[in-house]
């Protein structure tokens, strides 16, 4: 029995009076109470002739009083905070509903437009138009409402309507766009540098290229949310949310070059047994220190703070070096020259010289041997004659 008594002591009674817009008490109205965010209750009662109900609730609880009635309604439960035994007056209104049609400026019905109702600054409903551009509200308190209608690509419409009984109303949405200026820079540098010819993409809208100042401007439908993407060959891709409302806006996007290593030898041809200086730099031309240099799978050096390593060339032909740091690597090839494997010099060819005959007798056939002097002809005379003949031939041409 003591347990039952303790439970009774933890309860308090709320005397609740239900009144209409004019303050008149209402009888035969079904009322129920909940607490602990709906986990407790309900306690169900019907108002008597004086418009009152008695509700036993936990002491100190935050109690919400609801109506379950066809004629009267509250847009939100009435809150009794930190319940104690007391009297509470709960105002209610006659129930009403609205059928709202949304059209564009050309009269076409707008599907999937968002329609929100507010009364006295308090949110009431949030719905979407159907395929016919229509929203039918649930039962709400009769009275004046602010109706806010929105849809991607349209300007926001805010208007006021009086909802009584079964009200019908139409709202109009106007399409529009806003300019978005995107500035793309490379923030690797202390003073970020503008990037030219970067591609700025707004999905379902289009792609534009940045100019020399790193800026690109694109017209985007108002009241829309997008994912802005910026790309450029040799650079990382940037994706970020873009929220466009009803005025022009500006967005700054920073990207950097794609990480890489470049490896360059000081000489392309190196004598076998000598060394070659190779230099490793990153995507910005800055030295890559502590990169491991290998040749044929064997480690042959490590780059210093200047990105330089001096490595041996131990064989002839193409010798390839690889510099690796983290997930990045690069290669460079030099030609090893072996001085002991050069081509064999060509053999010297001796040309025999025919001595002129010493016999001074004239041949029996009357033909002078070459090198011999005939009457009026000498080797010099023959050469001169041939030269003159060549000159005359050129003149005749």
Strands 30-35 and 40-46: antiparallel
Question: Band of the pLDDT at 82, cuts 50, 70, 90?
Answer: very high
Question: Band of the pLDDT at 10, cuts 50, 70, 90?
Answer: confident
Cis peptide before 94, with omega less than 30 degrees from 0?
no
| Phi, psi for 199 (deg, rounded to 5) | -95, 125
pLDDT at residue number 353: 43
What's the DSSP call for residue 257?
B
Confidence check: pLDDT of 368 > 80: no
Confidence check: pLDDT of 384 > 60: no
Indicate the average pLDDT of the chain. Answer: 88
Report the 3 state secondary structure along 304-350: CCCCEEEEECCCCEEEEEEEEECCEEEEEEEEEECHHHCCCCCCCCC
Report percent pLDDT > 90 for the chain. Answer: 81
pLDDT at residue number 38: 87
Per-position b or e across 307-337, b if 16+ CB within 10 A of its CB: bbbebbbeeeeebebbbbbeeebbebebebb
Report percent pLDDT > 70 for the chain. Answer: 84
Question: Which residue ranges form the domains of the chain, and what is each CATH number?
Answer: 2-91 (2.60.40.10), 95-173 (2.60.40.10), 177-255 (2.60.40.10), 261-340 (2.60.40.10)
pTM of the model: 0.67
pLDDT at residue number 397: 46
Per-position b or e across 143-160, b if 16+ CB within 10 A of its CB: eebebbbbbebbbbbeee
Task: Look at 161 and 383; give whichever has higher pLDDT.
Answer: 161
Q: What is the mean pLDDT of residues 124-133?
A: 98
Question: Band of the pLDDT at 343, cuts 50, 70, 90?
Answer: low
Confidence check: pLDDT of 93 > 90: yes
């Amino acid at each position: 029995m003591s347990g039952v008594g303790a439970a009774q002591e933890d309860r308090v009674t709320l005397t609740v009076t239900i009144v209409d817009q004019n303050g008149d008490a209402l009888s035969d109205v079904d009322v129920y109470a909940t607490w602990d965010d709906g986990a407790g209750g309900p306690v169900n009662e019907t108002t008597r002739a004086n418009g009152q109900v008695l509700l036993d609730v936990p002491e100190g609880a935050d109690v919400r009083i609801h109506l379950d009635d066809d004629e009267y309604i509250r847009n939100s439960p009435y809150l009794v905070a930190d319940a104690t035994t007391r009297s509470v007056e709960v105002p209610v209104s006659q129930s009403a509903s609205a059928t709202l049609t949304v059209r564009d400026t050309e009269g076409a019905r707008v599907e999937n437009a968002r329609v929100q109702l507010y009364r006295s600054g308090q949110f009431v409903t949030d719905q979407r138009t159907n395929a016919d551009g229509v929203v039918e509200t649930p039962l709400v308190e009769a009275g004046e409402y602010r109706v806010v209608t929105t849809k991607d690509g349209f300007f926001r419409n805010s208007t006021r309507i009086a909802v009584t009984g079964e009200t019908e109303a139409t709202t109009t949405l106007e399409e529009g766009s806003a300019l978005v200026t995107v500035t793309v820079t490379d923030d690797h540098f202390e003073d970020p540098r503008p990037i030219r010819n970067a591609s700025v993409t707004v999905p379902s809208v289009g792609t534009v290229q940045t100019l020399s100042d790193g800026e690109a401007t694109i017209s985007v439908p108002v009241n829309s949310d997008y994912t802005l993407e910026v790309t450029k060959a040799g650079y990382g891709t940037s994706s970020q949310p873009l929220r466009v409302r009803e005025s022009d806006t500006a967005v700054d996007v920073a990207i950097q070059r794609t990480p890489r290593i470049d490896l360059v030898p000081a000489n392309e041809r190196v004598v076998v047994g000598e060394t070659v200086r190779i230099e490793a730099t990153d995507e910005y031309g800055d030295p890559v220190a502590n990169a491991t240099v290998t040749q044929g799978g064997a480690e042959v050096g490590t780059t210093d703070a200047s990105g330089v390593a001096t490595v041996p060339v131990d064989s002839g032909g193409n010798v390839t070096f690889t510099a690796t740091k983290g997930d990045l690597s690069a290669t460079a090839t030099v030609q090893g020259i072996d001085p002991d494997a050069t081509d064999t010099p060509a053999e010297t060819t001796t040309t025999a010289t025919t001595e002129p005959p010493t016999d001074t007798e004239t041949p029996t056939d009357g033909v002078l041997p070459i090198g011999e002097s005939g009457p009026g002809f000498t080797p010099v005379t023959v050469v001169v004659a041939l030269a003159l003949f060549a000159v005359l031939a050129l003149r005749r041409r």
